[in-house]
Structure 1
Amino acid sequence: MKSLQDSLYNWLTIKVVSDARQDDIAAQETKKLFDEILYNDHGLVDIEVTSDEIMYYIHFKQKGEQKKMRFPRELIEVMLEQINAEPEKYRNYDDID
């Protein structure tokens, strides 16, 4: 991923899913992949996430400089809402017969 903003958006979206679905192997593996992208491709460290009713805020260091970005909750939580609305479409690997 070339854009830091795109990488953070995708990372935060899967982080929200993986935090809510800690037994979801695919979500955990995907989050790990995005962790590596943020660290290896963009040089981010000390990533912290906070939120309020409207936004998610990501604070991080890049090349020693403290930075932040924000994303609307409605955009970040859309994947989790879709999974929760149709859980049969998003079964865990271990649940597949």
Structure 2
Amino acid sequence: MKLQDALFNWLQMQIVAEGRPEDEAARETRDFFAVILKEDHLVHDFHILEQDQEQTSTIQIAYEQEGISKIQRFDREASEKLLEDINGNPKYNQQ
């Protein structure tokens, strides 16, 4: 898996895990992508940078790889789409 794909998958699952704190599968999947980032790409200290959501159409992930600090930007709408789809599906919202 390419680094950019692993970062994007982790980002989507981080957004889902934050938006659905009771969703254990979301946390487990996020953690799976975190392992890929750490073990396959030697990425450390990755996190979403705080931004004014209304001021930007991107989400930024800051991370360190091989001692170098980097930032990767992703489209906000694409990044939040998975959470939107899950929340819009009655199958996943039964109490």
> Normalising TM by the smaller chain, what interval?
0.7 to 0.9
Check if 1:24 corresponds to 2:23.
yes
Runs of 5+ consecutive residues of structure 1 not aligned to the other structure:
none
Q: Deviations over 1:22-62 (max 9, x none)?
A: 11011011011011011011111111212333110011100
Check if 1:57 corresponds to 2:55.
no
Q: Contact 2:87–2:93 (CA<8 Å) still a contact in 1?
A: no
SS of the residue 2:11 aligns to: helix
TM-score by length of 1: 0.86
After TM superposition, list the pairs within 5 Å mapping 1:42-81 onto structure 2: 42-50=41-49, 51=51, 52-53=53-54, 54-81=57-84
Paired with 1:89 and 1:71, the residues of 2 have a C-alpha distance of 28
Task: Give the root-mean-square deviation of aligned CA atoms.
Answer: 1.6
Mean alpha-carbon deviation: is it higher for 18-27 or for 42-51?
A: 42-51
Check if 1:4 corresponds to 2:36.
no
Deviation of residue 63 (structure 1)?
0.4
**Equivalent pairs: percent with the same residue?**
41
Paired with 1:36 and 1:76, the residues of 2 have a C-alpha distance of 20
TM-score by length of 2: 0.87
Letter in 2 for 1:13: Q
Q: Contact 2:46–2:64 (CA<8 Å) still a contact in 1?
A: yes
Paired with 1:35 and 1:48, the residues of 2 have a C-alpha distance of 11
Paired with 1:9 and 1:77, the residues of 2 have a C-alpha distance of 11
Deviation of residue 85 (structure 1)?
1.2
Runs of 5+ consecutive residues of structure 2 not aligned to the other structure:
none
